[in-house]
Amino acid sequence: GGIIINKISTTNKVSRSNPLPLYIQLKEVIIEQIEEKNWKHGDTLPSEVELQKIYDVSRTTVRQAITELVTEGILERIQGKGTYVSQPKLEPIRPEITGFTQDMSSLGHQVSSIVLKQEIIPSNEKLNRILEINSSTQLFKLVRLRLVDGIIIGYQESFINYGLVPHLDLENYDFTNHSLYLYLLDHDVTFSESAETLEASLAGELYSEYLQIDKNAPVLKLSRVIRLQNGKPFEYANMVYRADKYKYSIKLR
C-alpha cells in the first residue's frame, strides 16, 4: 500500500438537503478526491469511523459507498490491511483492429497467456452460420486466459476458418508469450473490418473460476467477427473481461 490519505478537500460535502441518497453523494465525493489527485493509486483510505466524522454520515452509508466502489474497481479492499485506491482500469482505445497484446503493450503493460486449448476442430451449426461456411470446414480453436502484469484479466476463445490459411501452423505455435494477431500480420493475413458486440454480465460459476473472482462479480462480454480483405469471415472470438480491471473505449470517425 501507499501513504495514508491525509489530504482531504472539504469543498464537496455530503448534504441532507440534496435529494440524492447519502451513499451516492459520498461515492461521488470519493471519486472526485481521486480524480483531483488528492487521493492517488495505492493510497490507504481513512477508516470507516474517520469517514463518518469527516462527512457526517452513518457507518451504514460509508459501508454502502465503499462496497459499491470496490465492486466497480475504483477502490480495493485487502483483508486486515484496509481499503486502497485502485490502479486505473486498463483501457484500450480502438480506432483500428488490434489484438489484446498490442492494446496492452501500447499502454506499457506486460502481457502473457495461459493456453487452455489449441487444436483443430470440426465446425458446428452455430459456427457455420457466423463464419459463413459449411460443416466440412476445419476450424482452429484457441482458448486462452490473458494476463496483464501477472494478473488474469480475461478469458478469450477464438475460432479461425483454417481453410483460409492452410499454410499456417497454428496448432503448433507458441501462444503463451506471442500475439495471435501479430503472428497473422507477419504472415500477410490482413483484416478489413470487425463487427463487435459488448454486453455486461455476471461472472457465474465458469468465469469466476477462470478469472479468480466472485461468481457475482461484474464482467464485460465481447464477441467479435473479423473479415479478411476479400470480405470472408475469418475469426469469431468470444472474450470475457473483469469489469473491475478493464474498460472498453472506441473512437468513432
Asked if residue 115 lies in contact with residue 107, where contact means CB atoms within 8 angstroms, the answer is: no
Residue labelled with grid coordinates 473479415:
227
* Residues 6+ away with beta carbon under 8 Å from 77: 66, 70, 83, 84
Q: Which long-range contacts (CB under 8 A, 24 or more apart) does 70-74 make?
A: 71/217, 71/218, 71/244, 72/243, 72/244, 73/242, 73/243, 73/244, 73/245, 74/30, 74/31, 74/34
Biggest alpha carbon–alpha carbon distance for the chain: 69
How many residues are present in the chain?
Answer: 253
**All 3 cell numbers of residue 79?**
483483508
Q: What is the pTM of this model?
A: 0.58
Burial class (CB in 10 A: 0-12, 13-18, 19+), 243: buried
Alpha carbons within 13 angstroms on the beta-carbon side of residue 179 total 17
Burial class (CB in 10 A: 0-12, 13-18, 19+), 81: exposed
Question: Quick one: pLDDT at residue 47?
Answer: 87
Burial class (CB in 10 A: 0-12, 13-18, 19+), 112: middle
- pLDDT in single tens digits along all 253 residues of the chain: 455 545 555 455 777 878 788 888 898 888 888 888 788 888 888 888 999 998 889 999 999 999 888 887 788 887 777 888 877 655 554 444 444 455 544 455 577 889 999 999 998 899 999 999 987 788 999 999 988 888 888 899 999 998 888 888 888 888 887 778 778 878 878 777 888 888 989 999 999 999 999 999 989 899 999 888 888 898 999 999 988 877 666 655 5
Asked if residue 55 lies in contact with residue 22, where contact means CB atoms within 8 angstroms, the answer is: no
Q: 3-class SS at 101?
A: helix
Question: Quick one: pLDDT at residue 93?
Answer: 47
> Cα(241)–Cα(211) distance, rounded to whole angstroms?
8
Alpha carbons within 13 angstroms on the beta-carbon side of residue 127 total 23
Question: Quick one: pLDDT at residue 91?
Answer: 53
